Each structure stands twice: as C-alpha cells, then as structure tokens.
Structure 1
Amino acid sequence: MHTEHFDYNLLSVFDAMLRERSVTRAASQLGLTQSAMSHALNRLRDYFQDPLFVKTTRGMTPTIKAEALAETILEVMTAMRTRVLPQASFEPASMNRTFTLCMTDMGELVFLPPLMEKLRSVAPHCKLRTLQVPIPQIEALLASGDADLLLGSVQTAPESLFQQQLFMHGFVTIVSTRNKEVGDTLTQEQFESMPQVAVSLAGRSSPTYDSAFERHGLRRNIYLHTPHFLTIPLLMDREPQLIATVPEELANVFSRYGIVRVVKPPVTLPPYALSQYWHPRFHHDPAIVWLRQLVKQTFDTYPNIEA
C-alpha cells in the first residue's frame, strides 16, 4: 500500500459506514449523493482489496478486515474531531447537524420542547433525534457517537461517563379527576390501599421511591409496572381508582389536559438529580461542548420555563 495514493477523505466514509451500516444513511450523514457514496466505498474496497461492508439482514455488516481496521480509524477520526477541528472557527448559526439525545418518554414530553425552542433560535439548521435504550447499552452508544448525550436520572450510570447536574426533581402523586374518593390530600390509608401504577425503566421499581416509602413504613399496592410514563394518565382515565407517584414536572404537564390532578403523597419524598451524561471520547468535541452548554443554559431556571 502506498499512502501517497490514499485519499484521507475516505476515512470519513469508512467511519460513517461503521456508524450507519447503510450506504443511504451514511451518504446523508456526509452530505453526499448515494452515487457518490457508492463510488467512495468502491475506492476504499479497491485500496484495501476487501469488500469491507457486505449486505446482510442486519444491514451493511463489516468484514473481518473492516473490523480489524475499525479501532484505528475511529481513533484517527476522534483525534480529528477533538484535536484538529476545534482549532477551526465554530459557528452554531451555520452548523448543519443532527444531535441525538437518549431520554425517556417523560423527557420528550417535559424537557424536549424548551430545548427545541432554544436550538431553533441559535442553531436553526440543526435537528434533534431521540432514542430510548436500556441503560446497559448507553455507554457503547455514546462511545460510538451514535448518541451525543443522555438526559435523565440514572442511578447506575457507567463510571466512565462524564456527567453534569442540571436540576433537582421533586415528586407528587397524581389521581384521576374522576376519582371522588380523594380530596386535596391523600391519607396514608388511601395511599396504601389504592392500586398504583409504577414506572420501571430498568425492569424494576425505582430505588428512590422504595427506600423513601420503606423508611416511613409505607407499602404500595402496585397493580401495574410499565416502562412508559405517558400511558399513566390514559390508564387513570379508564380506571379512576388508580394512582401514581411521578416527578412533579411531569405531573404538571399531565394536569394541563384535565385528566389527572396533583396531590401531595402522605410522606415527603427526597428529590433526585436530573443530569446530562456524555462519553470522554467527545469531551472536547466543539459541537458536543456547545450542545452541553446549551442544555445547561436551557434548564438553569427550570422549572420556571414554559414546557
């Protein structure tokens, strides 16, 4: 192999194919036509004398040689993004990029609207994409660049990730507006006897909830575990006897639609932090640094913002 004959722009083509496993999506990420992307991929194949990516039921899968090259090429691309490109001027107003955020459906409902509004005002050509993935997959997703930030409260976040606290969550209990048994307050007897909906994002109930209830000797009559926050008010509308304890910001959004109302739980639950998390590989990436700053600024005055 002769390096003087190699077009180093092809490294970005290899990198995009590793991320997207699709010629069409990789072309879109690089701003190329599909024809130009196919031509660049063929040049890579000719140079390395290997197909590099072959079509399978899971998309364009890397060959053994491509997998052997992947780590080195990713290191080169990371160095370019974090050490070389930051030296150039960075203008959010002219940036054209899609940022990918990992968050729950609660995050989409409560936190995404103000962030979208902020992004449109300072970086009108940028777009957002959201993902909801299991916690064990988060580190690899952030390391690969397939996701830029994780927004949420993660009790078991990988230690390798950087994090920054945004604000503290409080908790309240919500009941159906059709529930006539509960007044402005919820007694301990009502709380323990009424069937409850619990959100279990990781397949188990929240340790924040459990430890607080246990310290006060409270037992919950959990009727349903669900990984989705947004189903709760709809279920309560159909089954008015159900109650749920959720973050206060989410409860306030729900109550605007007239399906549920907010009451205080019989005990005071400790708040917990909502943070943003990112991978060390992209700690100095200028676009990700800017995105983190934007997120922090957006929620500096939370919850005193319109969601």
Structure 2
Amino acid sequence: MHIRELDLNLLVIFDALLRERNVTRAANDIGLTQGAMSHALNRLRLFFEDPLFIKAPNGMTPTPKAELLGVTITEVIAALREKVVSQAKFDPATAQRTFVLSMTDMGELVFLPPLIRRLRKLAPHCTLRSIQVPLEQIEGLLASGEADLALGSIYAAPEGLFQQQLFMHTFVTVVSARNRKVGKTLTREQFESMPQIAVSLTGRANAAYDSAFDAYGIKRNIYLTTPHFLAVPLLIDAHPDLIATVPLELGTVFSRLGTVKILPTPVALPPFALRQHWHSRFHADAANVWLRHLIKDTFENYPDVPKY
C-alpha cells in the first residue's frame, strides 16, 4: 500500500463529500474554496483509481467503491476527532471529566468551597475527587495521572514536580473556650507547659506543621500527634486543657463553632506557603493547564477569593 502518497487531509474532504453529496456545500463545511475542493477530489480519484463521486441531478452520487471506503473513513475521522483532536485543547464548557486533587482535610476546608463554586460555573459537566495520601506517594500519583494536582505545603517537593505558590498562611494557637486559665494572650510558660496536639501528615512530631517553634528553643509538651486537622477542635472541646497551633484560616473556622478561641502564638512564626504541585508529564496537558490557571486565579488574592 502506498500510504505515504496519501495526504490524510484528503480523508476529511472525502468525509465531507460523502455527507453533503455536493461539492459546494462540502467546501463550505470544511472552509475550502470550490476550486480547491474540486482539485482535492481529483487527487482522491487518482489515488483510489475510481471516480468516487458521480454528478447526478441532485448533486453527487458515491460509487460502490466510495460507499465501501466511506464506512471505514467515517470511523477513522470520528476516532480522530474524539480521541486525538479533542486532546489538543480543553473546552471547560463541554468537557466531562473528574479532576482528582490530593490535599489534607485542611486543604479541603480551604480550597474546596471556592473551587467548587467556580468549577460549577465554568466547567458544569466536570466533577471533583479529593484524596489524601502519604507524602512519599504523591509524586507517583501525579506521574501516573491518578491525581491531577497536589494542593498544600509540601516542604521538600520531589524533583519531578513543578510547583506554584498560591498564597501564604500564618499561625494561631487554638484554646478551649472553657479553659479559664488562659485569657486573651498565651505566655510562653503556659504554652510550654500545656499538653498540645501536633498535626503531622507523616505522624512524626518533628514534621508537624508547627515545628517552626523548635527553631526558637521552645520546649513543647506534645501529647498527641495526628494527621487530621479537623479532629483538633473536637479533641480540645472534649479535653479543655489541650491546645494546638494551626493555620489562621483553620483556626478562624474552628472558632466559629464556639467551642474554641484563637490566640496569637507566644512567638511569631514565619508564614508558610501553600502551593499547587504537578508532574512534568502533564505540564503541557490542556486540561491540567486549565485547572492550574483556574486555581491560581481563584486563590492568588486569598483570603479575598472570588464569590462568583
């Protein structure tokens, strides 16, 4: 077979002629002049050694060979449009897919409400799935495409990942509203003596989110280490002597429950960055690029996120 001699664009022209049965309409359908269409038809006839389309009173009639070829060519063109051409761009208005985001429970609380609002508006047929996995598994999930993005603070992002800063978070200390020993401030002595909850995704206290205290020589009385931020207010409500240091936005949400109050930390901790991470394999993927732009646009002025 002399496949190298066939201009594959001619298959698009064949498909249009088969559908329209008229040179002028077929030309208009694919954006060619009538002269260019006639020239392309002559090339098709030469390649297939058959007239393919014969003039008739109502247009063009396909020959038996054209009808036989048409079954396969129509399938090929449909497959190219669906499986190849559609991948060249991402149309959020019509796309139907599930975006998978790796994040902590704190990330769900911070990221999901505004992201869901925007995704429902801009990509109404897309859905979201949130997963939480150990840090050492994140790169593999992003590389395989099982997760599209990882959102949060990955202290030492693997070399295979791109990252983009979204916004900065500061810290506050959360205390039970029923703890009468603590007023509007928390002294260093109180902070060091009170039993604390430390949140660490790895389960190790020295990898906790508030481990920056160690740089100031503060000796913490860590009673519980947990990977779950959302357990903090419930545990403090059940055990009012416990305290925890969490990101400001999370502490603000917890304080709305009425069971805990937020106080400045005894030593001002430096803010930490929340970022989105993705694998180099999907750096140019149209859907991944669109999602990253959406998230960056939504959160770059955090906490003043768009309400639309």
CA change 1:154–1:87 in 2 (3 A) is: closer
**2:210 — aligned with what?**
209
RMSD: 2.0
CA contact (8 A) 2:174 2:244 kept: yes
- How many Å separate the matches in 1 of 2:305 and 2:284? 29
**Per-residue deviation, residues 3-40 of structure 1 (Å, max 9, x unmatched):** xxxxxxxxxxxxxxxxxxxxxxxxxxxxxxxxxxxxxx
* Matched-pair contact (CA < 8 Å) for 1:86–1:285: no
Percent identical pairs in the alignment equals 64
What letter matches 2:210 in structure 1?
A: Y
In the alignment, structure 1 segments of 5+ residues that lack a partner are 1-79
The one-letter amino acid paired with 1:223 is: Y
Q: Please give the secondary structure, in 1, of the residue aligned with 2:198.
A: strand
TM-score where L is the length of structure 2: 0.69
Question: Does 1:275 find its partner at 2:292?
Answer: no
The letter of the residue matching 2:133 is V
Deviation at 1:215, TM superposition (A): 3.2
Map of 2:106 onto structure 1: 106
Q: 1:122 to 1:240 in 2, by over 3 A?
A: same
Displacement of 1:140: 1.2
User: Compared with structure 1, are the counterparts of its residues 215 and 137 closer, same or farther at alpha carbon in structure 2 (3 Å cutoff)?
Assistant: closer
Question: Does the 8 A contact of 1:96 with 1:126 survive in 2?
Answer: yes
Separation of aligned partners in 2, 1:246 and 1:289: 31
CA distance in 2 between counterparts of 1:225 and 1:208 reads 11
Shift of 1:213: 2.1
For residues 204-263 of structure 1, what are the alpha-carbon distances to aligned partners after superposition, in whole Å with 9 as ceiling and x for unaligned? 1336633x3233221100010111111000001100111000111111111111121110
- Do the aligned partners of residues 225 and 254 (structure 1) sit closer, same or farther apart at CA in structure 2, a change above 3 Å counting? same
Tell me how far apart the structure 2 counterparts of residues 294 and 219 of structure 1 sit (CA, whole Å): 42
Contact 1:110/1:253 (8 A) holds in 2: no
Which amino acid letter does the alignment assign opposite residue 304 of structure 1?
D
Residue 54 of structure 2 corresponds to which residue in structure 1?
none
- 2:73 aligns with none
Q: Which residue of 2 aligns with 1:8?
A: none
Q: Is the 8 A contact 2:89 2:286 kept in 1?
A: no
Secondary structure, aligned partner of 1:133: coil
Q: CA deviation at 1:305?
A: 3.6
Task: Give the paired residue count.
Answer: 225
Mapped contact 1:197–1:224 kept (Cα < 8 A): yes
Report the equivalent of 1:121.
121
Q: Structure 1 residues 204, 93: CA separation in 2 closer, same or farther (over 3 Å shift)?
A: same
Counterpart CA distance in 2 for 1:299 and 1:164 is 11
Residue 89 of structure 1 and its aligned partner are, at CA, apart by 4.8
> Partners of 1:306 and 1:154 in 2: how far apart?
25
Are 2:155 and 1:155 aligned? yes
1:177 and 1:259 in contact (8 A); partners too: yes
Cα distance in structure 1, aligned partners of 2:102 and 2:89:
28
Cα distance in 2 for partners of 1:138, 1:129 equals 15
The Cα offsets for residues 275-305 of structure 1, whole Å up to 9 and x where unpaired, read as: 0000111111101000000010110121124
State the shift of 1:203 in Å.
Answer: 2.1
Secondary structure in 1 matching 2:210:
helix
Tell me the residue number matched to 1:16: none
SS at match of 2:180: coil
Give the Cα–Cα distance (whole angstroms) in 2 for the partners of residues 192 and 181 of structure 1: 14
- Kindly indicate whether the alpha-carbon contact (under 8 Å) linking 2:199 and 2:209 is maintained by their aligned counterparts in 1: no
Superposed displacement of residue 87, structure 1: 7.1
Hey, what's the Cα distance between the residues in 2 that align with 1:217 and 1:138? 32
Q: Tell me, in whole angstroms, the C-alpha distance in 2 between the residues paired with 1:89 and 1:154.
A: 30
In structure 2, do the counterparts of structure 1 residues 272 and 287 end up closer, same or farther at CA, with 3 Å as the change threshold? same
What aligned pairs does 1:35-74 form with structure 2 within 5 A after superposition? none
Q: Is the 8 A contact 1:195 1:223 kept in 2?
A: yes
| 2:221 matched residue in structure 1 | 221
Distance in 1, Cα, partners of 2:247 & 2:188: 19
Matched, 1:302 2:296: no
2:58 matched residue in structure 1: none
Aligned 8 A contact 1:194 1:243 in 2: yes
Alignment-derived partner of residue 141 in structure 1: 141
Structure-to-structure mapping, 1:171-186, within 5 angstroms: 171-186=171-186
Larger Rg: 2
Q: Partner letter of residue 137 of structure 2?
A: Q
- Report if aligned partners of 1:173, 1:264 keep a CA contact under 8 Å in 2: yes
Matched, 1:249 2:255: no
Compute the displacement of 1:306 (Å). Answer: 8.2
For 1:166, the equivalent position in structure 2 comes to 166
Q: For 2:117 and 2:197, locate their aligned partners in 1 and report how far apart those are by CA, in whole Å.
A: 32
- Partners of 1:101 and 1:87 in 2: CA distance: 21
Cα gap change, 1:242/1:300 in structure 2, threshold over 3 Å: closer, same or farther?
same
Distance change in 2, residues 1:177/1:282 (3 Å): same
